[in-house]
Every structure is written in structure tokens, then in C-alpha cells.
Structure 1
Amino acid sequence: MGELVARSLIALLFVLNGAATARDPEPRRAKAAWFGNPPLLAVRANGAAMVVLGLLLVTGWQRTWVASGLGVLLVLTTIGGHAFWRAADRAERGRELTQLVKNTAVLGGLLLLAMP
């Protein structure tokens, strides 16, 4: 029961944010432009993949692979979208650093779920 709750709580982040990204990819694309200027389709596909993998995480199906896949997407999204070192001012740098730290905590949860 505890693992189901943990998987569901982590998955909620990916399903909600992934759906928002798939619906409206432009703001995320603009943030990640420095990281290689991804096309809108790639950003939208990233969001859709997060939704699908998030839902699969809840079910527990192929938990190790699904959690690993979400971890890879999270790392790429974090580097591309929360580059605190590139922030224009102190307040923005603080917001981006907070997001980066939050994402590393989520990554820790995914690493635990990825263990066989």
C-alpha cells in the first residue's frame, strides 16, 4: 500500500506537468532554447511521454524501467528548463534553484522506485 501511494504521488507531478507541457509547449520551449532550441513537437512529445510514463508508474507495470525513463526525462527537463546559473536576477535564480532542488528530490524517489 505504501509503495502505491508513493508511486501515485510522484506520478501526479509528471501527469499534471506533462499534460500542461503537451497542451502548451511554447513557454517550456522558450526556457530551454539555450539547451539546443528544441522544436515544439519535441517539447510536446516530452510532455506526452511524462503523462504516459506517469500513468504507468501508478500501475506498477515495469516499475524499474518506467521510473528510469521518468528519471532521464526529469534530468533533461531540469537541465534545460531550470538553469539557475543563467538567471537574469537574484529572484529568478532563487526560483530556478528551488525547482532544481525539488527535481533532485523527485529524482531520489524515482531512483528508489527503479531498484529491482
Structure 2
Amino acid sequence: MSVSRLIARPLLAAGFIYGAQSALRNAEAFATKASPVADAVVPKVRNAGVPLSNNPETLVKINAAVQIAGGLALATGKAPRLGALALSASMVPTTVAGHPFWSESDPAVKKTMQMHFFKNLSMLGGAIIAAGDTDGKPGVAWRARRAAKDARRETKHVTKLAGAKLG
């Protein structure tokens, strides 16, 4: 693992873990903010066949647990890509519910919410980059293309041999 990954992964994870522990400690207050998003998203998720609580406080706690687990996976290097993917997914509802600057009328509060909204987008971008980071090793897409190329080459070789034996 490169030094930059050794340093960057825990630094990125720290923001998620810190925010998640804050959400766990103040789940009731966070649930108030999460309610509008939960009311809009939960029915759609349930329609897709996924059983999900409609209690905003429970959802806040689940989201915080995902962020802690994802952050630890990323920080420790144990399944960092999966951890980063989980962090990416959890960041969308966190950002929309936590910082709806578009509905704020007080200019000072709106500006603060915008700053936190865009900070969260930056964290989301970092998590997306980390989710795609193969640590210099070939990724799944490259391996699949390589396997298909090798299979085509082998098929041509076998066809050529079969043609030579028949001829």
C-alpha cells in the first residue's frame, strides 16, 4: 500500500466516523431533520421489496452504523473499496436531510448549510474515488476484458488447430 493511501484513507474515514458518532449521540435531533427525506424515500424502497423501518430515529442509527463500519473498513484497509462504497451510499441521504439550504430563509443559516452541503459533496467525491481505487492492481472490469480477450484468442487457436487436422 502506498504512503498516500496509508494516510489518506484514515483521514477521509475520520470525517465519516466523527459525524456518525455525533448522529448516534443525538439521534433524536437528527431524526427531526431526517423525517422529510425518510418520508419520501422509505415508501419507494419498500415498493422495491426491501424491508425498511419508517422510524426516522432508527434510520439515523442505521445510517450512522453504516458510516462507522464503512469508515473503519476504509481506515484499516480491510475491504476499503466496499467500505468506501457504503460511505458513498450513506452520504446522499445524510447530505440531503442534514443540509437543505434551499429551504432556508435566514441568509446566515443558509450560508452555513451551503458550506456543510458542499463539504459533504467533497467527502462523497473522496469516497467515490476510494471505492474505485484498486491500489494499483487490475480492477474487475480490466480482468473481465482480459478474460474475454484470452478466451477469443484460445477459440481462434483451437479453431485453427481443428482446421489443420481436417485439412
Q: What are structure 2's unaligned runs of at least 5 residues? A: 40-54, 135-167
Q: CA deviation at 1:5?
A: 0.9
Greater shift, 94-103 or 43-52, is seen at: 43-52
Match of 1:104 in 2: 121
- TM-score scaled by structure 1? 0.90
1:35-77 superposed Cα distances (whole Å, 9 cap, x missing partner): 2355211111211221121111111222222111101101111
Match of 2:159 in 1: none
Is 1:77 the equivalent of 2:94?
A: yes
- TM-score scaled by structure 2? 0.65
Number of residue equivalences: 116
How far apart are the structure 2 equivalents of 1:81 and 1:53? 19
Supply the RMSD in Å over aligned alpha carbons: 1.4
How does 1:45-64 map onto structure 2 within 5 Å? 45-64=62-81
State the percentage of identical aligned residues: 31
1:11-40 superposed Cα distances (whole Å, 9 cap, x missing partner): 111111111111221121112222235521
Instruction: State which structure, 1 or 2, has the greater radius of gyration over its C-alpha atoms.
Output: 2
Answer 1 or 2: higher relative contact order, Cα 8 Å, separation at least 6.
1
Greater shift, 28-37 or 7-16, is seen at: 28-37
Q: What are structure 1's unaligned runs of at least 5 residues? A: none
